[in-house]
Amino acid sequence: MSIGIFDSGIGGLTVFKAILKDFPDADIFYLGDTARVPYGNKSKETIIRYSLECATFLKKNFDINLLIVACNTASSYAVETLKNYLNIPVIDVINPGVEYALQVSKTKKIGVIGTQATIRSGSYQKLLQKNGAKVYSKPCPLFVPLVEEGRIKGQITRLIIKDYLQEIIDEGIDTLILGCTHYPLLKEEILNLYPYLNIVDSTNTINNYIKKFSVSLQNNSNQKIFITDEAPSFYTLKNLLLPEIPLEKVELSQICTL
């Protein structure tokens, strides 16, 4: 049994690390589509096509039995298509984040931030509202290049965080969902500005979702990370989070098969 994980780039490594904590022996194959990041400003059709291509690469090459869509943008648009196409269980990162936010929020006034495409899709808003929460959402497109450039701390970063978030903070939210896999890297600075916030993302609860599928994950720790293009920031984050996992570049032509 093996798990496939994909993201548009580096952010999904935080999800990979969270999964390893509970499933250290699992066979896990990660694809970061660094050649085509960001997905968050693309059309629905393009996001679905890219997602299908990433998932197909993992299925064909590693016969994965479980797919984790470690990208909020892809999770917002492509999950149903991926399920139909691959015929294996597919776990998104929206449901785990929402579940945890509902657990920790006392006021049920919940903020959600993400890429333009994620916020436009309404994926978080619909799920939260269905569960009785009042939702305040905001796209934060500059957060992705900040993280990609390694600017996760400092004055400029704090200014941009404040510029985006103050408006939803003023609505009285007590919980903020980081609806983009890059954003957990800005958590420290967000908390410096707003220390009373509950900050949540999918990594808090994603392993419960994996356990629900009761797949056998006792394997040989055969784990590998693939990227579709050189990305200096990817190496930095990878070495920080998962230094022991081997990394390989894969040609985009091997991915673009649809």
Q: Cβ 71 to ligand DGL, closest distance in Å?
A: 4
Using alpha carbons, select from 91, 55, 53, 47 the residue that is nearest to residue 73: 47
Among 62, 146, 176, 182, binds ligand DGL (CB under 6 A): 182
Does residue 140 carry a catalytic annotation?
no
Binding of ligand DGL by 202 (CB under 6 A): no
Nearer to ligand DGL, 110 or 177 (CB): 177
Binding of ligand DGL by 111 (CB under 6 A): no
Q: Quick one: which segment of 110-118, 157-165, 208-216, 228-236 binds ligand DGL (CB under 6 A)? A: 110-118
Binding of ligand DGL by 39 (CB under 6 A): yes
Among 3, 180, 190, 231, binds ligand DGL (CB under 6 A): 180
**How far apart, in whole angstroms, are the C-alpha atoms of residue 74 and residue 90?**
12
Burial 38-76 (b: 16+ CB within 10 A, else e): bbbebeeeebbbbbbbbbbbbbeebebbbbbbbbbbbbb
Question: What is the DSSP annotation of 92-158?
Answer: -SHHHHHHHHHHH-SS-EEEEEE-HHHHHHTHHHHHHHHTT-EEEEEE-TTHHHHHHTT--SSHHHH
Give the active site residue among 54, 140, 180, 256.
180
Binding of ligand DGL by 96 (CB under 6 A): no
DSSP code of 227? E
Does residue 71 carry a catalytic annotation?
yes
Interface residue list for ligand DGL (CB under 6 A): 7-9, 11, 37-40, 71-73, 114-115, 118, 144, 180-182
